[in-house]
Chains A and B, each alone.
Chain A
Amino acid sequence: MGSGDDLFTAREREDIDRAVSIAEGDTDLHFSVYVGALGADSRTTATRVHAGLPDPTSSVLVAVDPGARRVEVVTGTTSHRWLDDRSCALAVLSMSTSFTANDIAGGIVNGLRTLGEHARHPRVLHLDEP
């Protein structure tokens, strides 16, 4: 068990994985979670991680830096169509609430749930592609 393993228990990892797959099942977007140091310029680091995802345009990245007490949500071109900045801000707010109580995993699950619900949209024939 390294030092990184102390952040989450196995049960919490399962919860986050499940929240990711539920959010992805509700929408046609890809959700990713990054928990670790983001450095001084957290936005730039989060953007870089987002750009490194397999499909950045339709990906949503939730980046949490527990050490610096920062959380970033990054959306791509396609994912931004279904997930505007207000919804992301709402998810950030709900995550911060749990983080304040030192519940990192619970906050991430809450945030993913919020993002998934806001990104949900009806499938429209021929119009679903940007």
Chain B
Amino acid sequence: MRNSARALTVVTGVLSTLATSAVVLATPALANVVDTAYDAGPGLTVPQTIGIFVGIPLLIILVIYALVYGLTGRRGPRYPAGQPYTGQPEVFGDASTSADGTGDAHAETAPSEPEGGARGQW
């Protein structure tokens, strides 16, 4: 009986100390809001929220997608090897200055015969 009274006293003391310290620690939070504090104004409506946090990112993603595929995604019809090729010959390097179907005239005056090379078929 005496022990239980003592325990009750201890518990009451601890609880009251905790409550007091909590109030003391939280005192700054109870201070009045100063008038110069930033006023957040009225909150966003649901359509506004969705527009800002979903619509704008979606718009950015679509713009980047369009840029990437618009610039590199040209998929024209390709010439399939093996079909008769009737287009103009494509030339690279020095050949572009002379090989335009007039090779015959040059061949007459060519100083040297081709020496070697290789050939292949696929």
User: Interface of A with B (CB < 8 Å)?
Assistant: 2-9, 13, 16-17, 20, 24, 30-37, 42-43, 45-57, 59, 61, 65-67, 69-77, 79-80, 84-85, 88-89, 91-93, 95-96, 99-100, 102, 104
Contact B118 A61 (CB under 8 A): no
B residues neighboring A (CB under 8 Å): 74, 76-99, 102-107, 110-122
CA–CA, A4 to B89, complex, Å? 7
Please, which residues of chain B bring their CB within 8 A of the CB of A71?
119-122
Known contacts A32-B92, A32-B93, A69-B122: does B98 contact A52 (CB below 8 Å)? Answer: yes
A49 to B80: give the CA distance in the assembly, Å.
24
| Contacts A53-B95, A66-B79; A75 near B116 (Cβ below 8 A) | yes
Secondary structure call for the B interface: loop
Contact yes or no, A30 B94, CB < 8 A: yes
Q: CB distance B119 to A17 under 8 Å?
A: no
A51 neighbours in B (Cβ, 8 Å)? 103, 106-107, 110, 113-114
Chain B residues with Cβ below 8 Å from A61 are 95, 117
B117 touches A33 (CB 8 A): no
In the complex, A85→B110 CA distance in Å? Answer: 22
Please name all residues of chain A whose beta carbon is closer than 8 Å to the beta carbon of B95 when the two chains form the complex.
Answer: 32-34, 49, 52-53, 61
- Closest A residue, CB atoms, query B96: A32
Residues of A within 8 A of B96 (CB): 32
Whether A73 pairs with B92 at a CB distance below 8 angstroms is no
Query: Are the C-beta atoms of B84 and A49 separated by less than 8 Å?
Result: no
